[in-house]
Chains A and B, each alone.
Chain A
Amino acid sequence: MNIAVCVKQIPDPATPYELDGENHWVVRPNDQVLDDTDRVGVEVGLQLAEATEGTVTLFSMSPSGSLQGIRQALAMGADKAVLVDDEDLKGSDALTTARILSAAVQREGFDLVITGTESTDGYSGVVPQMMSELLDVPCLSFARGFSVADDTVTIERQTASGYETVTSPLPAVVAVTAGAVEPRYPTFKGIMQAKSKPVDTATAADLGVEPVVTQAVIAVEPVASRAAGELVEDDGEAYLKIVELLEEVKVI
């Protein structure tokens, strides 16, 4: 089975990011890491590839040309990667991102596309659905459990009050939740192999996609933050402080 996994490279969430003054785009540092959410997608892809003797191809749109995050995913075990690297894609919205990724996936061919539910830095949470429409396949979103048998994919789809079992013929897009599986850690061997795995690059023009600007950030302002209240060290009696406050706000 031909499995495509979309992985986003993002600025390390541990370091604060900035917006540039002119366009209010995220200033992307050169070293970008694999979005944690997408480590889950890679793991799902690898498990399905192992079960079906399939291959895992990574797809990423990362205008900065950074490869660190993709190498991380290759080190987990993915076979190869396609990186769409194009200055003109800077500040792309979700629809342009989806058009690019779909065109790249289409070009390579696929049975299953796996994505995260939402990215850590963008969290629009609509890229997988857009891709499914562009690829004319079902989108099995919010998947917390999954299985593939006989050209059919079945997922447990998280809902507000529980879950649904959803089944679909392949090809399809599956967007997985962060808790779906526990991603593996790359082994030393995996890290060494990742350095020589093939990474193809493409531009928007190669894929026949014309980036369209649909929205502009017109203002960014600080929000007055909630003031911190009292901080007490528990000396064995701090619970009394809580009781007092509950009385004060009249809930007891």
Chain B
Amino acid sequence: MAIWVFAEEIDGAPTPGSLELVSKANSMGDTAVFYVGAGSPEAFAVLGAHGAGTVYHLDTGDVLPAAPAARALGELLEGSDTKLVLFGMGNTDRDVAGRLSARLGAPVVANGLDVSLQDTVTVTSEILGGSLSVTTQVVLDGPALVITRPKVFVSEDTGGGSPEVHTVALPDTGRSGGATITERHVEASEGPDLEAAQIVVSGGRGLGAPDKFAMLDELAGLLGGAVGGTRAVVDAGWVPYSYQIGQTGKTVKPSVYIAAGISGAMQHIVGMKGSSTIIAINKDPDAPIFALADLGVVGDLHKVVPQLIEALKSRS
């Protein structure tokens, strides 16, 4: 009985999040990966190194992957006694998990922070901005589809060998499979990768205007860090979605997180509360972000941030 992992290819390699899941699955048992993307010997080797024994590879080309992936994975699972399929929070992960659930009548447990498999699948998650931990047990036979949050498992190259790779033919999904991707656009951000950065400077609506992000770019540049933001500034179109930190954005765990003009809504906090040191600048002394800040400055960020930039410049 294998544990299955859904993995998507982005930029020619399995996503970092999918490798975390492969490592986790490998710590629980035999691991089979359902891999969606162009595929390559290098990509399969990375999956194998993280513990995948078998890889089922589906290339959906320009077809929106969810419908064919859910059908093909569903067919593979139907003939097995698998109890657990792991998904990450990626868009395609969630699309496939939802469709597959409806196909198989299998439950989805979302937002998982840990998962275990005995006779049944048990998942822990947190609600209310991480103030309550909830343990959920699946009470239905058959596979449980568990969506876990990024960075809760550690991806580990354990030196596993090449996996057995099976190519999966693109199934005909009729009307469901009618969506195609006609263009792909990358909205590149400069500087280090937000999810990997050791220092994150993050801005919220308190910045007041989109051009104020230049100030945060400068600060991040001086510290060798990356810039992020809240959903409020992403929705306002000030910065691209790739900047978003939180429930529906990225999860960051840097050594230092500097929050400027961010209130600290629970959906934001879940994406950054794992940071080692949190510094917050907000003019409202009652802003919830201060409840988790190691250092909170009650003040106007338009004064404090430029002063901080000058101080750092004069040191170098």
B130 interface contact, C-beta 8 A? yes
Out of B98, B181, B237, B247, name the residue touching A123 (CB < 8 Å).
B247
A84 interface contact, C-beta 8 A? no
Cβ–Cβ contact B110 & A126, under 8 A = yes
Residues of A within 8 A of B241 (CB): 144, 158, 163, 177
Residues of B within 8 A of A228 (CB): 290-293, 296
Docked pose: A160 CA to B110 CA in angstroms: 19
Interface hit among B18-26, B43-51, B135-143: B135-143
Docked pose: A249 CA to B223 CA in angstroms: 13
B116 interface contact, C-beta 8 A? no
B176 interface contact, C-beta 8 A? yes
- A-contact 0/1 string along B106-143, CB 8 Å cutoff: 01111100000000001000100011111111111000
In the complex, chain A residues 116-155 whose Cβ is within 8 Å of any chain B Cβ: 117-118, 123-134, 136-142, 144, 154
- Report the minimal beta-carbon distance from B253 to chain A, rounded to whole angstroms: 13
Cβ–Cβ contact B293 & A167, under 8 A = no
Interface hit among A59-67, A103-111, A207-215: A207-215
Residues of A within 8 A of B66 (CB): 129, 139, 141
Cβ–Cβ contact A230 & B296, under 8 A = yes
Residues of A within 8 A of B177 (CB): 138
- B-contact 0/1 string along A187-228, CB 8 Å cutoff: 000000000000000000000000011111111111101101
Chain A residue at minimal CB-CB distance from B102: A133
Residues of A within 8 A of B298 (CB): 231-234
Residues of A within 8 A of B105 (CB): 95, 212
**A138-B64, A138-B177 as given contacts; A166 in contact with B182, CB under 8 Å:** yes
**A214-B107, A231-B285, A251-B198 as given contacts; A239 in contact with B132, CB under 8 Å:** no
- Report the minimal beta-carbon distance from A247 to chain B, rounded to whole angstroms: 9
Cβ–Cβ contact B184 & A126, under 8 A = no
**A216-B139, A242-B295 as given contacts; A124 in contact with B315, CB under 8 Å:** no
Interface size of A in residues (CB-CB distance below 8 Å)? 80
B174 interface contact, C-beta 8 A? yes
- Report the minimal beta-carbon distance from A125 to chain B, rounded to whole angstroms: 5
- A-contact 0/1 string along B273-316, CB 8 Å cutoff: 10011110000010000111111111110011001100110010
Cβ–Cβ contact A129 & B136, under 8 A = no
Cβ–Cβ contact A158 & B237, under 8 A = no
- The DSSP consensus for interface residues of chain A is mixed
Cβ–Cβ contact B256 & A249, under 8 A = yes
B235 interface contact, C-beta 8 A? yes
Docked pose: A99 CA to B103 CA in angstroms: 11
Cβ–Cβ contact A239 & B304, under 8 A = yes
Out of B179, B185, B296, name the residue touching A172 (CB < 8 Å).
B179
Classify chain B: how many residues form its interface, as a range.
35 or more
Interface hit among B30-38, B88-96, B162-170: B88-96
**A118-B248, A179-B235, A221-B133 as given contacts; A251 in contact with B139, CB under 8 Å:** no
Chain B residue at minimal CB-CB distance from A134: B102
In the complex, chain A residues 60-80 whose Cβ is within 8 Å of any chain B Cβ: none
**A163-B187, A167-B182, A251-B199 as given contacts; A215 in contact with B136, CB under 8 Å:** yes
- Report the minimal beta-carbon distance from A82 to chain B, rounded to whole angstroms: 20
B101 interface contact, C-beta 8 A? yes
B99 interface contact, C-beta 8 A? yes
B252 interface contact, C-beta 8 A? no
A1 interface contact, C-beta 8 A? no
Out of B94, B102, B126, B242, name the residue touching A160 (CB < 8 Å).
B242
Cβ–Cβ contact B304 & A251, under 8 A = no
- Report the minimal beta-carbon distance from B117 to chain A, rounded to whole angstroms: 14
Chain A residue at minimal CB-CB distance from B91: A142
Chain B residue at minimal CB-CB distance from A126: B98
A94 interface contact, C-beta 8 A? yes
A5 interface contact, C-beta 8 A? no
Cβ–Cβ contact B179 & A138, under 8 A = yes
A246 interface contact, C-beta 8 A? yes
Residues of B within 8 A of A157 (CB): 91, 181
Out of A178, A215, A230, name the residue touching B138 (CB < 8 Å).
A215
Cβ–Cβ contact B94 & A125, under 8 A = yes
A184 interface contact, C-beta 8 A? no
Docked pose: A229 CA to B185 CA in angstroms: 42
Lowest 8 CB-CB distances: which A-B pairs, in order? A129-B98, A234-B299, A179-B235, A214-B107, A126-B98, A133-B102, A138-B179, A229-B294
Q: Which positions in A face B, CB cutoff 8 Å?
A: 19, 24, 93-95, 98-99, 117-118, 123-134, 136-142, 144, 154, 157-169, 172, 177-179, 212-223, 225-226, 228-234, 236, 238-243, 245-246, 249, 251-252
Using A177-B241, A233-B299 as known contacts, list a sample of 18 further A-B pairs with CB atoms less than 8 Å apart, ordered by residue number in A: A125-B110, A126-B110, A136-B176, A138-B176, A140-B64, A163-B187, A165-B185, A166-B179, A168-B178, A168-B179, A215-B136, A216-B136, A216-B137, A217-B135, A226-B292, A229-B293, A234-B303, A242-B304
